[in-house]
Amino acid sequence: MFRKEVLDSIKIEQDRFGFEPEITAKVAKEGWRIYEVPISYYGRTYEEGKKINWKDGIKAIWYILRYNLFN
């Protein structure tokens, strides 16, 4: 959840695995406070249709580096 002024001040480029690192890096650079809150989550298994694999982990690492070091 974000305040409207936070989202209005950020141009979001990613729409997949890069979204989380991008939004976190941009919110932190703007000086907005980030609060973590506990949630309950039960993810799907591969048999139930989970589609994430090691390649997605490499992409996530790239996006973390891109938005925290190069942007």
Torsion angle defined by CA atoms of residues 9, 15, 20 and 23, in that order, rounded to the nearest 10 degrees? -10
Q: What's the pTM value of the predicted model, to 2 decimals?
A: 0.68
Torsion angle defined by CA atoms of residues 51, 58, 8 and 38, in that order, rounded to the nearest 10 degrees? 70
Look up tokens 């591969």; give the residue: 46
pLDDT digits (tens), the chain, 71 positions? 888 998 898 898 988 878 888 888 889 888 888 888 899 988 888 899 888 889 988 988 898 888 888 76
